[in-house]
Structure 1
Amino acid sequence: MGWKERELQPDKSPRHFYGSEIRRLRKLHDNMSLGRLAKILNFSLGHLSRIEGGDSKPPEGLSEKLDTAFNTDGSFQRYYALAKREPFPDKYSTYLKLANTAIGHASYTLTVPGLLQSEAFASAVLNAGEPLATPEELEDWLTTRMARQTRLHQDPPPCRYWFIVDEWALRRPVGGAAVMVEQLSLLLAACQLRHVTVQVLPFSAGVHSEMGGTSLILLTLPDQEVIAYEEGSRSGHLIEDAHAVAQRRDLYDLLRAQSLSPHDTEAVIRSALEGFANALRGTARPLADE
């Protein structure tokens, strides 16, 4: 049975209409494949597929290329005027869908990344971050977060992971000493996985580009395209523009250079773990932010 293109929803939004027009005109032009159109436009096939499906906003400059390719006398430029003003809905859902197909995942987080959180740690973070949520909502979010970790432990691993974690995440007690002992032990276990690299960005690194508290995530998709996702405590921003993504990759390379080696990272995690373990035994108090 041959591959079947998914059904489009042109009446859902200006962005979806824009994408459906790409497919309609492709079909009118000798049933042109999306791959062929991507070559004509000199554009990423994966990105073009997401635009046609309504999952991504069209970037600046694409409409002019489409009008030239299809000889549509400015139609796509007029559609773009509407599509670019449309707020991008369900950004996190789109990010999760892309993350579940990525072959490379690189992130910097101020706290322990969700993919490496213990259930108790994740529960404490969610309860603190969403104090007005209902118990049912918190339970749903926790279940979703823990379910995402399944892909990390698949055999063979479908993705290469690189995590840069701020030292702040190791020192600030979340949920109490017992929760931190479990969490830091889990983090050490992740360091032993062959497809996972963990680095700590130490306090001694001083100022850096992500001090505003934003998490930076870079996803490498199966077609080798890289997209970025920036997330704050209350919002997320998906970035697909090639120039903007390249800037984030440069920033991530700087963070990687400022971070400890994997070997030294394990030593710092063990030190923090020992501090919380001692606190749990009542013999010492762990270091926290000064």
Structure 2
Amino acid sequence: MAFVPNELDPGRSARDLFGWEMREHRKHADNMSLDQLTQIIGCISKGHLARIERAESMPPPELPAQLDAAFGTDGRFGRIYLLARKEKFPGKYREWSELEALSETIEEYSAATIPGLLQTPEVARFSLLAGHPHATPTEIDAKVAARLNRQKRLASSAPPHCWFILDESTLRRPVGSLATMRRQLDAIAMDKRPHITLQVLPFTAGAHAEMGGSLFLYTVPGRPTVVWEEGARSGELIADAVDVAARRRSYDLLRAMALSPRESRAIIRRISKEYGRAGEPAGELAEEQP
């Protein structure tokens, strides 16, 4: 089956525009292949170049000048790069990040991993490495910095009220070493900030409508609540009032099924102690570095 490139919207973000320009200039250069462009560039892999063209990866600093030289574009890629490097998130996630930054109330259910707003730097790095196994160290560093930057608002003078419901699986799936996970759970258990409410949805709660994904409800002053629904590889912004109401009912039901905040912190501390008693299994580095 022939490869079909993904669609790019050059008006969505500077990163999309950069990838769109790459693709268009390849087409106009006698349909230059990515293999051919890789040979011309010389210092970047075909896979990395493909991710940049799909707007999935940030271009490295040296690439714009190399593309301008390859296509004779007189600094065009360099100018787009100046805009792209200011973007913390890819275009499809920008609306979501802006909603989070403006919300006075953030409600989240996570079935996959510890919520990004609560992650320690270690767990943030391991999570991003797992989700982006082909990313370069520079790209991972940028993603970690963006994630930790999101957390600053929770420590501001006017933080949003946050309600987190964590599936028990997020506590029991080790991310990084056992010591890393223990430090993460201890940080959550000891977090007593009044604007953060935390609940654990235990395995004993059984099946429910949001299994396998994550659900975010954002309330911005003067606007209707908006939902961000996320799976392993994609996310969808939901603003339709009927659909938002359905997700609200699902979230409220999860809240009713979950343990109380006091019981939740108790189970988090108990699981943290289990990590401590288990120690590091044979063959695993006790001080694994992210």
Please tell me the residue identity of whatever aligns with 2:150: R
How do 1:80-229 residues align onto structure 2 when only pairs under 5 Å count?
Answer: 90-110=91-111, 111-157=113-159, 159-190=160-191, 192-211=192-211, 213-229=212-228
1:163: how far off?
A: 0.2
1:114: how far off?
A: 0.2
Counterpart residue number, 1:235: 234
| Partners of 2:215 and 2:97 in 1: CA distance | 14
Please tell me the residue identity of whatever aligns with 2:134: L
Q: Is the 1:91–1:238 Cα contact (8 Å) retained in structure 2?
A: no
1:169: how far off?
A: 1.0
Per-residue CA deviations over 1:148-188 (Å, capped at 9, x if unaligned) read 0000111242x110000000111111101110111001111
Is 1:275 matched with 2:277?
Answer: no
Match of 1:100, SS state, is helix
Please tell me the residue identity of whatever aligns with 1:265: S
Q: Is the 1:177–1:280 Cα contact (8 Å) retained in structure 2?
A: yes
| Partners of 2:244 and 2:158 in 1: CA distance | 28
Please tell me the residue identity of whatever aligns with 2:251: Y
| Partners of 2:280 and 2:227 in 1: CA distance | 43
Q: Is the 2:178–2:280 Cα contact (8 Å) retained in structure 1?
A: no
Please tell me the residue identity of whatever aligns with 2:263: D
| Partners of 2:225 and 2:141 in 1: CA distance | 32
Q: Is the 2:177–2:280 Cα contact (8 Å) retained in structure 1?
A: no
1:232: how far off?
A: 1.2
| Partners of 1:278 and 1:155 in 2: CA distance | 39
Counterpart residue number, 1:6: none
| Partners of 2:203 and 2:280 in 1: CA distance | 27
Please tell me the residue identity of whatever aligns with 2:197: T
| Partners of 2:110 and 2:228 in 1: CA distance | 12
Per-residue CA deviations over 1:227-254 (Å, capped at 9, x if unaligned) read 0000112111001111111110000001
Please tell me the residue identity of whatever aligns with 1:109: S
Match of 2:99, SS state, is helix
Aligned length: 194
Unpaired stretches in structure 2, ≥5 consecutive residues: 1-9, 13-89, 282-290
1:101: how far off?
A: 0.6
| Partners of 2:99 and 2:280 in 1: CA distance | 43
| Partners of 2:11 and 2:203 in 1: CA distance | 48
Match of 2:102, SS state, is coil
| Partners of 2:147 and 2:188 in 1: CA distance | 16
Counterpart residue number, 2:5: none
1:203: how far off?
A: 0.4
Worse-matched range after superposition: 272-281 or 135-144: 272-281
Match of 2:279, SS state, is helix
Q: TM-score, normalising length from structure 1?
A: 0.64
1:224: how far off?
A: 4.5
1:280: how far off?
A: 3.1
Please tell me the residue identity of whatever aligns with 1:256: R
1:277: how far off?
A: 1.6
1:90: how far off?
A: 2.4
1:281: how far off?
A: 7.8
Please list every run of at least 4 consecutive aligned residues from structure 1 whose deviation after the TM superposition is greater than 4 angstroms: none
| Partners of 1:108 and 1:12 in 2: CA distance | 32
**Percent identity over the alignment?**
44
| Partners of 2:158 and 2:99 in 1: CA distance | 19
Per the alignment, do residues 12 and 270 of structure 1 end up closer, same or farther by CA in structure 2, a change over 3 Å counting?
Answer: closer
Match of 2:180, SS state, is helix
